[in-house]
Amino acid sequence: MKQLIHQFIDQLKQQKYSANSLSNHQRDLKRFEKWLGGSDTKEITLFDLQVLKKTNIEEYLTEMSETMKPRTIARHISTLKLFFDFLESQGHIEHAPTYLIEFPDYQMELPELLSFQEVEALLESPPQSHYLGLRDRSMLELAYSSGLKVNELLNLNVEDLFLDLEFVKIRGKRHRMVPITRKAIEMLHEYLAQARENRLLNKEDPCLFPGRNGTRMSRMGYWAMITKHARRIGITRPINARVIRHSFAAHLIQNGMDLDHVMTLMGYVDMDAMLRYAHINRPDYFEVYLKAHPRGRSRNDQNDPESVE
């Protein structure tokens, strides 16, 4: 099974899955392998996988549900479905035993958000008098400007910027072009002209945002940077790159952008991913809905001659 897992992960790499997703899928499959009885001295064979039934998978998931949250169970199911679909596509098994396995119902966790005023203060926190301040300000402006994931931001190269066209190219499982705000463009021009090149360990390195050591900034380095500036403006609750991304989406929706347009900007392919923002609407959303819907008006309104055209 170890070799099959290795082949499966290699295929996901070719499909441009993120490093975090690859790590999660590999960890989930190792747990499943151990549950099947695999160890350093016992290998789970292809035959062991071929004879698995839906009931075996359900038994595994039932055991996990005793100690894991539904959200984690859902991720394990997703991993197993991908893995057995891979085995079926390669001709290793006839039918995937996970085909009819259903995902558990669970309450979508509402994202942590910053108010617009908090975001504005955070973006203006880094001083622009030295390299680190220019870099930090540019990173924060771009992250909020375009709703980038942390790995998308950190993996950017200079050639991914199309500042004259006001777009940035996001490389990943699905490439996309995302617009950039004028303020972010202004900061990036200043950063590129005054700060980036002199901080690179290797002048040929294409990375857009080097860390203190002159190479591409790490996730931990970015998290520490955000936390530092958040504390500087008085935000004491936990904050990370995801909070900025969610705030980007929430603020666009609050100001009237349609969910499907926000979904495209964020790189989602399924509207279900937008359910976490379902509680966020424009201030006039329900007022417009009630006025427009034929059964939304009150009885008094319906009897009012002026309400009927």
In tens digits, the chain (309 residues) has pLDDT values of 888 888 888 888 888 777 878 888 888 888 888 887 777 777 888 888 888 888 888 888 888 887 778 778 888 888 888 888 888 888 888 888 888 887 776 555 556 788 889 999 999 999 888 888 999 999 999 999 998 988 899 999 999 999 999 999 988 767 888 899 999 999 999 999 998 988 888 988 999 999 888 899 888 889 999 999 999 999 888 888 888 888 888 888 888 787 778 888 888 766 656 666 665 655 554 555 556 555 555 544 544 444 433
Tokens of 156: 């950017």
Residues 6+ apart with CB under 8 A from 303: none
User: SS3 for 161?
Assistant: strand
Q: For residue 184, which of 160, 167, 206, 159 has the smallest C-alpha distance?
A: 167
- Cα 253–Cα 276–Cα 152 angle in degrees, nearest 5: 80
